[in-house]
Structure 1
């Protein structure tokens, strides 16, 4: 006990007497450990240590509260700091910064933190970034609070089973998982995680269930040629839609709104009309039409070169390269002239914002066109793409060529879903008025009866 008493001149009894009688902020200094003192606070007493930092500045660090920390303990800590020449506050600040950095690092290691932080910034520099982020948010929101490094094969297989049970197609599941794998590879490159936890994890081979079989059959029924009557009704619906809009505008201009643009002088009174024709003549997916730019669709040379949105996140994305048929060129050039012959920017920008439209923007005009043309209510806009692909297959075009024109890297999908349309040549040749050239389509107008396109609608 005598040895410990030498560490500080402030005994426990002296500390109590001081605090009982001292005013607020009064100080009791230790005579044996330079810098050690007890200060009176509103809540009792606090041990402090005053020292000079390496820059010559006087600084004061808190050791602990009295009586939770006894004089002997406070003296030992202060003496250790003095012996080591520690810059106590600087060390404390460094530890705090390190803790904050570790906390921030841990937050970016969660799927939410990385997806909405570094990865969102990375995808902002990519053309299909918004779509990729949407895929990840839709499929993996339940993993938001998971550390990326802890994802496992069991997590993946559980997720796969869930997506299959709710009827997601195998290709859709594969695409979503591919987007996740791409995110993980980027997280490794960023240094957010040391290693990809799913590097060697593959999806299970798809197990056909009653629900997915029903879904497959329902989708297979939509992958067909449109009939001659449906093609005629499509053209009639688009023409009626244009006529309806023009009449509405005439009425508005005649009744108090003369400053509204005259739609009678425009080739197309609504963006949906050229978009629908281009879908019919090119087979582009709706998302690819919305993201299509004038750099990808060259109206001067009639050349379409497009990397599909669905494959942009792939290491080696697919690529559509197509010479537009004459009917498509009539539509494209008329729309290009109407837009002021731009050299870049979106082919179908929002009339309101000028930016890319929502992926469901075509829904309302499509429903109107179907009603005006007398088309079936259950005919989806995607049927125009199915018709494009079905026509090529039925015409005897090599399946790999069809796949490339449709934006697929291999013929497997075309063979699996459209193979039943492979020809009887005598029947199928009526569907093609020209021929298929390497990398492009020439002469086809999307109609079984070779009906001219309404490019001057």
Structure 2
């Protein structure tokens, strides 16, 4: 129970926090002292009381202590370090940071960064403030309500290759006049286009992951360039082609899955194995050079050369969009596409590809068209005909 008393020319209010420590403050008016005591005691009862002395730590110092406790991949930690180093309020105490500081930081980024990059950095910084709120260092998150630059709509930003484009890429993957420039790259392009694998997932395929008779592929790992933290930890490291060190990880978002392969892709992969890795253990890499797996730089270089020879400018990731668009065009539902793509949820699938599914208007028009076609195809004798 708090109390209020008069001391000389001022009124003093006092209450005890949840730990029993007494807090006192002076006011000119009795009513203000009573209001303050009642407010602070209510916070103690609700469990959302914040120690007035908390929040003195700076944003940078809090992040430095908080980040090592997070269960992050090395790439995630690298992105988080980059995002928090870019803030303009790193030296301010947490309790002193206002929404206006966040808005000024976002405004500063708009002149040099894409909207998607700003969104990523903002999300990371917001997570830091939410951690400070959870630790009861500050009462509220100053990023709440901050407006970010508008990102391009998925349908505007997405470039989906046509069937003709993919044919050009497959034809250009291994040029006949330079047979040694990109050996085996046809199968890699085909795997991305007709199975929708991410770059690292395709790099991580081993021959034993493919069931050639059952026409399935198990996606259980990905290869990523090893960061300094990965090398220091020394876990799951592999020597890749060209002396590059890569790390073996589960697929993104723990998206281990089985992909059902078309006969045409099975034939391409079978020919690839016959030509490039005909013998060895089942855990040998599908794409390798002298027994060492390919890495991201090698793939990126070969992709740029392939698309240049094909006269195209698509990103490798666009082949993944091509695969998804083909599933949707064939009538696959959201869950089927989600599982094939390895998305963490159907929400991710819809937010990325919702514009590719037929709308209610399209379905209505198609249904009416089928009815009309069925009626008009039925030849009946005219009424009243002799």
What is the TM-score with the length of structure 2 in the denominator?
0.52
Distance 1:271 1:140, change over 3 A: farther
Q: 1:421: which partner in 2?
A: 356
- Whether 1:272 aligns to 2:185 is yes
Q: 2:292: which partner in 1?
A: 354
- Whether 1:343 aligns to 2:282 is yes
Q: 1:87: which partner in 2?
A: none
Q: 2:347: which partner in 1?
A: 412
Task: Give the conservation status (yes or no) of the 8 Å contact 2:106–2:148.
Answer: no
2:201 aligns with one of 277, 288, 299:
288
Aligned equivalents of 2:62 and 2:77: distance in 1? Answer: 15
Distance 1:308 1:160, change over 3 A: farther
Report the CA distance between 1:323 and its aligned residue. Answer: 2.0
Task: Give the conservation status (yes or no) of the 8 Å contact 1:225–1:387.
Answer: yes
Q: 1:321: which partner in 2?
A: 258
- Whether 1:141 aligns to 2:85 is yes
Partner of 1:362, secondary structure, is helix
Task: Give the conservation status (yes or no) of the 8 Å contact 1:307–1:318.
Answer: no
Aligned equivalents of 1:153 and 1:307: distance in 2? Answer: 43
- Whether 1:226 aligns to 2:161 is yes
Q: Deviations over 1:166-194 (max 9, x none)?
A: 55455983588469959x98xx9xxxxx9
Report the CA distance between 1:353 and its aligned residue. Answer: 9.7
Distance 1:282 1:175, change over 3 A: farther
2:303 aligns with one of 354, 360, 366:
366
Q: Deviations over 1:105-161 (max 9, x none)?
A: xxx96656876xx579x76xxxxx3332332243233479969x9597857776666
Q: 2:177: which partner in 1?
A: 244
Q: Where in structure 2 are there 5+ consecutive unaligned residues?
A: 1-59, 225-248, 367-386
Q: Deviations over 1:422-453 (max 9, x none)?
A: 2458x99xxxxxxxxxxxxxxxxxxxxxxxxx
Q: 1:130: which partner in 2?
A: 74
Aligned equivalents of 2:77 and 2:342: distance in 1? Answer: 21
Distance 1:227 1:293, change over 3 A: closer
Aligned equivalents of 2:336 and 2:301: distance in 1? Answer: 34
Aligned equivalents of 1:281 and 1:368: distance in 2? Answer: 20
Distance 1:233 1:315, change over 3 A: closer
Aligned equivalents of 1:314 and 1:173: distance in 2? Answer: 23
Q: Deviations over 1:383-405 (max 9, x none)?
A: 21111111112222112321232
Task: Give the conservation status (yes or no) of the 8 Å contact 2:334–2:349.
Answer: yes
Aligned equivalents of 2:135 and 2:94: distance in 1? Answer: 10
Report the CA distance between 1:279 and its aligned residue. Answer: 0.7
- Within 5 Å, give how 1:74-223 maps onto structure 2: 111=63, 129-142=73-86, 166-169=112-115, 173-174=119-120, 177=123, 181=127, 195=135, 201=141, 204=144, 207=147, 209=149, 212-213=150-151, 216-217=152-153, 220-221=155-156, 223=158
Task: Give the conservation status (yes or no) of the 8 Å contact 2:170–2:189.
Answer: no
Task: Give the conservation status (yes or no) of the 8 Å contact 1:110–1:146.
Answer: no
Aligned equivalents of 2:318 and 2:148: distance in 1? Answer: 25
Task: Give the conservation status (yes or no) of the 8 Å contact 2:170–2:190.
Answer: no
What is the TM-score with the length of structure 1 in the denominator?
0.45
Report the CA distance between 1:278 and its aligned residue. Answer: 0.8
Distance 1:322 1:353, change over 3 A: closer
- Whether 1:297 aligns to 2:209 is yes
